[in-house]
Amino acid sequence: MRFVLSTRARVLMAIFVLLYGALALEFVLRPGETAEIAAKAAVAIGGLGVIGLIFFIGARRQQADLRAFVERVFGDLTRI
């Protein structure tokens, strides 16, 4: 079984990433000391990593649940 993202899901993911990036960039570019700017950038990059990890884990879990459901419902049919 192969899983693909719909066009709508891809567009929504792209919009989400762009909005997160724009907001993080706005926080980083506010005037301040160099150390403060570096800390803000590190937090923004770390936040993006955490959000990406959450999406990845959620996608894996949904795929496993869907695969188990399909196997349970259609398990007795022969594959083509």
In a domain, 68, yes or no: yes
Residues 30-73: tens digit of each pLDDT: 888 888 888 888 998 898 889 889 988 988 898 899 989 988 99
Would residue 26 count as lying in a domain?
yes
In the predicted structure, residue 25 carries a pLDDT above the cut 80: yes
Residue 66 is encoded by which pair of tokens? 């869907």
What pLDDT, on a 0 to 100 scale, did the predictor assign at position 28? 83
**Does 79 fall in a domain?**
no
User: Can you give the residue range of the structural domain that contains 37?
Assistant: 7-74
- Mean pLDDT across 15-29: 88
44 with 24: CB under 8 angstroms? yes
Identify the pLDDT of residue 80. Answer: 67
pLDDT at 52: 86
> Which residue, among 37, 36, 20, has the nearest Cα to 28 in the 3D structure?
37
Residue at 13 is within a domain: yes
Identify whether 80 is part of a domain. Answer: no
Q: Answer whether residue 2 is part of any domain.
A: no
Nearest to 41 by CA among 53, 54, 55, 27: 27
3-state SS string over 11-26? HHHHHHHHHHHHHHHH
63 falls within a domain: yes
In a domain, 23, yes or no: yes
The total number of structural domains in the chain stands at 1
